[in-house]
Structure 1
Amino acid sequence: MKKQINLLTMLLVIPALSLYSCENVHFADGRTGTYVNDASSGFSIAHDTLVVEQGRGNTWLLHRKTGFQMIVNGKPGRHLYETEECTATADPNTGVLTESRNEKVIEFPDQNSMTVGKRLYRRLN
């Protein structure tokens, strides 16, 4: 009887672990990459690049580079650049990332895009 219970437990646990493992690999493969966003207004022009990579466990590393120009008297000014490094935590149930410093919500509506708040980024690779 004890051997039957152990066998039954193994038959249930191993497939469950396999599915969990595959889901985590899919999550990692589906989110890592380079994403870009271009935005402009009457005040500035900005080009954002965000590199997403998986850290340890449910932690993700975000590397952001932004190039922008302020518009002065209707003309673009000189090019300025900023970089930012931060981390995010993944919700294991939804796949949504929450950026640690400002608690920005990062979602992946499909394999080719990402949203950070209301900004839509398209995936390059």
Structure 2
Amino acid sequence: MRVLTIMMILAVFAIIGCKSNSQKKSLSGTFTKQSKSEYSTASDTLIITPSTQSNNSYEIERRTGFQKIRNGELQAKEYKTEKWQSSWSEDKQVLSETEYGRQITPSIDGNSVTLKNTLYQKIK
């Protein structure tokens, strides 16, 4: 009876471990969005990778390329890159960055993430 109880406890821990690993895998990836207005065009990319510092820590790299439109003509393309650290909150199901309060929420299927009110689609 005691062996059966120990095996059941180990099975529960194994299931919990698999669940947290699958969540971590779905958070990683490259996500993109494109936008256009009468004043500019832009492409925005988020690259989310697990950090080597801890299990719940992620590195986020945001790459933005944009072109201003002045008098109906596209200007030269400009680029911005920023990097930050975030941590995964299992309770809230969100990646949080503390310096600026940015939060990234992954979709249930892992094919998209939301930063503020902006939806990014997974490309790889």
Counterpart in the other structure of 2:97: 99
Partner Cα distance (2:6, 2:91) in 1: 24
Deviation at 1:23, TM superposition (A): 1.2
The answer on whether the counterparts of 1:67 and 1:79 sit within 8 Å (CA) in structure 2 is yes
The TM-score with structure 2 as length reference comes to: 0.86
Residue ranges of structure 2 left out of the alignment (5+ in a row) = none
Find the counterpart in structure 1 of residue 121 from structure 2: 122
Look up the equivalent residue of 1:90 and give its one-letter code: W
| Sequence identity percentage | 27
Q: What SS does the corresponding residue of 2:93 show, helix, strand or coil? A: coil
Verify the 8 A CA contact 1:67 1:81 in the aligned structure 2: yes
From 68, 72, 75, the counterpart of 1:74: 72
* Number of the residue aligned with 1:41: 37
1:8 CA displacement: 6.5
Residue 19 of structure 2 is matched in structure 1 by 23
Rounded to whole Å, the distance in 2 between the matches of 1:8 and 1:101 is 48
| Letter paired with 1:47 | S
- The number of residues matched between the two structures is 121
Contact 1:27–1:95 (CA under 8 A) maintained in structure 2:
no
Aligned-residue offset at 1:102: 1.6
Q: What code does the residue aligned with 2:113 have?
A: M
Give secondary structure in 2 for the equivalent of 1:50: strand
Unmatched 5+ residue regions in structure 1?
Answer: none
Task: Tell me by how many angstroms 1:61 deviates.
Answer: 0.7
* 4+ residue runs over 4 A deviation: none
Using the alignment, how far apart are the partners of 2:98 and 2:37 within structure 1?
A: 28
- RMSD value over aligned CA atoms? 1.9
Q: How far 1:94 sits from its partner (Å)?
A: 3.8
TM-score by length of 1: 0.85
Give me the whole-angstrom Cα distance separating, in 1, the residues matched to 2:9 and 2:89. Answer: 23
* 1:51 aligns to 2:47 (yes or no): yes
User: Which amino acid in the other structure matches residue 34 of structure 1?
Assistant: T
